[in-house]
Amino acid sequence: MTQAPNVYDAEPIPASVRAEIEKMLQTGDLFRYTAAENAPVSLLEREFADMMGTKYALAVSSCSAALFLSLEALALEPGTKVLIPGFTFAAVPSSVVHAKLTPILVDVAANYRIDMADFEAKLTPDVGAVIISHMRGHTSDMDAIMALCDAAGIPVIEDAAHSLGTTWNGQKIGTMGRVGCFSFQSYKLVNAGEGGILVTDDADLLARAVIMSGAYEHNWKKHQGPGGADDTALAEAFARWQNELPLYNLRLSNLSAALVRAQLPEVETRVRKGRINHDYVADKLNASPWLSVPPALPAEKRAPDSIQFNLEEFLSDEDAIAFAEAAAARGVKVQIFGLSEDNARAFWNWKFIGPQGPLPQTVNMLMRACDVRLPTRLTTDELDTIADALIAAAAEVKAGSRAYGT
């Protein structure tokens, strides 16, 4: 059997970027606002907005920074409620707390998607914004969410940190809400070590976010819409907010922007390959009576670089942990979100957000939902090794628990 691949190694950065980085090393021109125009960060913003089909993009230091600035740009009263899913990464409730707002968790079902009945019940008039995390690329029912939020006049922020390339009814994830946020941290589809970007069509929101990201004095002049300098709505918004807002300095450096730009032409291939790999492994796992990969919703086309599946009929936590150990013995690291210690995606580890109502479906899901990385570079042999190890590990534990009888 092929040895299990190391799924934590990053991929090489395309060699095409070497000359540009060498030039930056020689000139030392790393700050986005030094050059009069065409700084790598500005070019990235234009290219990313064009790729997503939005008017504007703002590149920042992380997706967390993009989420924080999006919330700040909405100018909500301190303490206002923000709905977020009960299943997401700790960065999301953290961005809400950072913006001095109050996170309210919504229950998430066994298929990793927001439970719409709980969402509707919690979408009360005192909610100021909603963050939808397309967690691990799993898209909740965006038609229902947008209809409810539009009817209530509540802005939606899409946390698409890990969803670049996913579409919903053919529309790009991250372009449905008022603003969409993406990550360039190393475990995402595009890797710059750290980095993030937000996209929006809203000139006022963009202007506020640009200034707060650290466009001090008149540096906002280096931010333009698709039409270049004659974007009146944007110019008016910058004039409106000049000197009115704090500067949090959450900017991206030219070096990081160059790394991201070099990978943008590869996004389509990575998405296609990731989807093929994911579906190949999913079909194999679904053939096991003990493992199930929830299907995508009909409107969703995913762009996965990892796979999530549920343990079926694993009645005890001990058996679930034994499965993870049996997989590890075969060289495949499985993380069960609710059973791996101090997991940042288990909401009970977000002790900084204060008490929340019960989230029964989210708890049940987290205790049996498994996470395995599937970088898009893996070969079919390597995918077979991973899938076979998972299937054998589940069978071994189930055979053991039958033998001892319970």
Ligand X SMILES: *Cc1c(COP(=O)(O)O)cnc(C)c1O
The residues assigned a catalytic role are 188
Amino acid identity of 48? F
Give the chain's largest Cα–Cα span: 75
How many residues make contact with ligand X (CB under 6 A)?
15
Coil, strand or helix at 106: strand
Mark the segment that binds ligand X (CB under 6 A) among 56-64, 105-113, 300-308, 387-395. 56-64
- Our CB check for ligand X shows the closer of 224 and 376 to be 376
* 33 binding ligand X? (CB under 6 A): no
Binding test (CB under 6 A) with ligand X, winner from 54, 62, 140, 376: 62
Tell the smallest beta-carbon distance from residue 308 to ligand X (Å): 12
Tell the smallest beta-carbon distance from residue 186 to ligand X (Å): 9
- Our CB check for ligand X shows the closer of 207 and 250 to be 250
- Our CB check for ligand X shows the closer of 91 and 389 to be 91
Mark the segment that binds ligand X (CB under 6 A) among 14-22, 28-36, 154-162, 313-321. 154-162
List of residues 6+ apart from 178 with CB closer than 8 A: 70, 74, 155, 156, 157, 200, 202, 205
Tell the smallest beta-carbon distance from residue 21 to ligand X (Å): 21
Strands 127-133 and 81-85: parallel
Binding test (CB under 6 A) with ligand X, winner from 32, 81, 162, 178: 162
Binding test (CB under 6 A) with ligand X, winner from 183, 191, 308, 376: 183
CA-to-CA distance for 285 and 317, rounded, in angstroms? 20
Binding test (CB under 6 A) with ligand X, winner from 159, 202, 300, 305: 159
List of residues 6+ apart from 394 with CB closer than 8 A: 288, 290, 291, 311, 323, 326
What stretches of 115-253 show up as alpha helix (H) in DSSP? Answer: 116-122, 142-152, 203-214, 232-241
CB 75: neighbour CB atoms within 10 A? 11
DSSP state of 348: G
End-to-end CA distance of the chain: 34
- Of 125-144, binders to ligand X (CB under 6 A) are 133, 135
Cβ-contact 370, 335 below 8 angstroms: yes
- Our CB check for ligand X shows the closer of 62 and 111 to be 62
Binding test (CB under 6 A) with ligand X, winner from 76, 161, 210, 326: 161
Cβ-contact 66, 158 below 8 angstroms: no
Place of tokens 């700790």: 90
Tell the smallest beta-carbon distance from residue 313 to ligand X (Å): 29
Tell the smallest beta-carbon distance from residue 354 to ligand X (Å): 20
Coil, strand or helix at 182: strand
Cβ-contact 147, 116 below 8 angstroms: no
- Our CB check for ligand X shows the closer of 62 and 70 to be 62
- Our CB check for ligand X shows the closer of 188 and 284 to be 188
Cβ-contact 383, 317 below 8 angstroms: no
Binding test (CB under 6 A) with ligand X, winner from 42, 54, 70, 88: 88
* 185 binding ligand X? (CB under 6 A): yes
Tell the smallest beta-carbon distance from residue 66 to ligand X (Å): 8
98 membership: H or E segment, kind and range: helix 91-98
Tell the smallest beta-carbon distance from residue 195 to ligand X (Å): 7
Phi-psi region of 189 (alpha: psi -120 to 50; beta: other; left: phi over 0): alpha
Mark the segment that binds ligand X (CB under 6 A) among 17-25, 155-163, 241-249, 391-399. 155-163
- Our CB check for ligand X shows the closer of 99 and 322 to be 99
* 68 binding ligand X? (CB under 6 A): no
Q: Rule CB under 6 A: which residues touch ligand X?
A: 62-64, 88-89, 91-92, 133, 135, 159, 161-162, 183, 185, 196
